[in-house]
Amino acid sequence: MPIPTSTPLNNTTLPKHEIPGNYGLPFLGPLKDRWDYFYHQGRYSFFKSRAEKYNSTVFRTNMPPGPWVSPDPRVVVLLDAISFPILFDNSKVDKKDIFVGTFMPSTSFAGGYRALAYLDTSEPKHGLLKSMIQSLIASKHNEFVPVFRNGLQSFFTQLEDQLEEKKGVELRPLTDTLSFEFLFKLFCDGKSPLDTKIESNGIKIIKKWQICQIAPLVTLGLPKILNPIEDFIFHSIKLPFFLVKNDYKKLYDAFNSSATTYLEKAENNGISREEACHTLVYMFGFNAFAGISVWFPILIKWVATQGPNLHRQLADEIRTVVKSEGGVTLNSIKKMALTKSVVYEAFRIEPPVPYQYGRAKQDLIVNSHDASYEIKKGEVIFGYQPFATKDPKIFENPEVFESHRFIGEGEKMLKYVLWSNGRETEDPTPENKQCPGKDLSVQLSMILLVEFFLRYDTISVHVKPSFLSDVVTVLSLTKATSM
C-alpha cells in the first residue's frame, strides 16, 4: 500500500528530503528549546529562526513545555500553507489527548471526563458530543443577533464612560464581560450568570481554571531575573486541580441549573446529564469564551490601525446596507462584502488559536512547496498557523493587512484561511475537528463591526506587544456624524 501524502499546490514531482533539524541531547535539548521559546527568542522568532537555519518550512524541534511536563516534546513543525492542512485530515492524523500540545492536563478539570477537544474523531463519543454542541448552536440561530446586539450596547456605553474618566481604556476586560454574559445567556436559555452561584465572579473563575491547565504554555513577561523562578513554577509542573476545585463546582452548578434545554436534550440522546454538563462547561470556557474574548480585541486592533480611510469605507457600506434592508439582520450582513473581507483578513493575519497538533496514524509523505518529507507513524506533527496563513507563495503582501483581499475573485483564497481548525471553505461536522462555532464567530465579528460603525466614525488605539495576545487600549472614539 502506498504511503499517504498531503496535496501539493501543483502536480509536479517534488524531491524527497530528510526532515532537517534535531532534538538535541535528552533533557538538555528540550530545556534549551523551552528557554528559546519563552525567554531568548519569543515564539514567532523561535520558528522563524529555525526555518531560516534549515532553509525549510518543515523541520524538527522540541515544543514546550518539555522536561517534567511533556512525556515526549519532540515534534515535526509545519509552517507553510501546503503542508499545514494535513493536520485537518483525520484519516491520517490522530487528535487523541493532544489538544493543547505535548502534554495533557488532568481530566479532573473536566469533571473526570476527557473533554470533546481531546477526543479523536474515531472515538464514538466524539460524534455524539459534537452533534449535541452543533445542535445547541443551531437552535439559537434566531436568538444570537438580538442577544449580542443588546450586549454590545452595554459594551459601548462602558467604553465611552471609561474614556471620559481616563486617557485610555484596555479592551480585554470589556470584551471579557461582553463575551461571558452573551455566551452564558445564549447557552443557558437567556439566564444571567448574576443569578447563579458564580454571581459576578464568573470571569475570574474561568480564567483561574484556564491558567491552571495551560500554565506550562505561557509566560507572564516578568523581569529577566525572575525567569528561572517562573520557569520552575509554570513550566516544570502541572498545576493541580484542587487549586480551582471549589470554583469549578460553582461553575458546574451554574450551568447544571441554567442550561436545562440542552441538558434535557442530551439525556434524551443517551448522554448522562453529568457528562453533558461538563462538556458544555469545557466548551464554554475553553473554546467559546477563551476564543471570542481574545479575538474581539484582535479584530478591533487591526481595523483601528488601518486608519480613517478604511473606517469611512466600512461606515459607508454598513450604513447603506442597514438603511436599505431596514435593520441589522443575518440577511443584511451577508450583503456587506467589505465588512466580511475585513473579518476574514483579520482571521488570516492573526488567527486567535495559532497552534495545531496531531499524531501520525501511519507513515506519511507530507509535501511543502519545494519538497516532500516522510513522517513516521506515531510522530507528533505541529503546525504554527501564523506562518501558514502568511505564506508568501500563496498570498501577495502576506504581512500586510489588505482589507479588500477576499472580495470578488479574492474569495477563492478563503481556502487558505485556516483559523477554525479547518479551511474557511469547509464546514464543521461530527466527523471532523473543525470548530462547531466557526460560522457563528464570523457572524458575531461582522455584527461587532456593524454596530461599531453605526455608532462611530473612527477609532484610535495603542497596541502593546504581549506573549499570547497584544494588549489593545482604546485612546479615542469619534461619534458618527451621519447615518
Domain range annotation of the chain? 28-479
Q: What residues does 375 pair with on adjacent strands? A: 364
On the question of pLDDT at 2 being above 70, the answer is no
Q: How confident is the model at residue 227 (pLDDT cuts 50, 70, 90)?
A: very high
3-state secondary structure of 302: helix
The continuous run of DSSP H or E covering 357 comes out as: strand 355-360
Lowest mean pLDDT among 9-13, 208-212, 375-379, 454-458: 9-13
- Pairing relation of β-strands 355-360 and 93-94? antiparallel
Backbone φ and ψ for 367, nearest 5 degrees, come out as -100, 140
**Each residue's pLDDT tens digit, 109-119:** 999 999 999 99
Joined together, the cell numbers standing for residue 353 give 488559536
On the question of pLDDT at 10 being above 70, the answer is no
User: What does the alpha-carbon distance between residue 69 and residue 56 come to, in Å, rounded to a whole number?
Assistant: 29
Mean pLDDT of 120-141: 94
3-state secondary structure of 428: coil
On the question of pLDDT at 278 being above 50, the answer is yes
**Each residue's pLDDT tens digit, 39-84:** 999 999 999 999 999 999 999 999 999 999 999 999 999 999 999 9
User: What does the alpha-carbon distance between residue 419 and residue 401 come to, in Å, rounded to a whole number?
Assistant: 16
On the question of pLDDT at 427 being above 70, the answer is yes
Residue 388's contacts (CB-CB under 8 Å, 6 or more residues apart) are: 78, 79, 80, 81, 83, 84, 416, 418
**Each residue's pLDDT tens digit, 438-470:** 999 999 999 999 999 999 999 999 999 888 789
DSSP letters, 207-241, are: HHHHHHHHGGG------GGGHHHHHHHHHSSPPPG
User: What does the alpha-carbon distance between residue 420 and residue 438 come to, in Å, rounded to a whole number?
Assistant: 6
Mean pLDDT of 365-393: 97
Mean pLDDT of 13-26: 95
On the question of pLDDT at 483 being above 60, the answer is no
Positive/negative CA dihedral, 259, 262, 265, 267: negative
Backbone φ and ψ for 149, nearest 5 degrees, come out as -60, -40
Instruction: Tell me the pTM.
Output: 0.95
**CATH assignment, 28-479:** 1.10.630.10
pLDDT attached to residue 199:
86
The continuous run of DSSP H or E covering 457 comes out as: strand 456-464
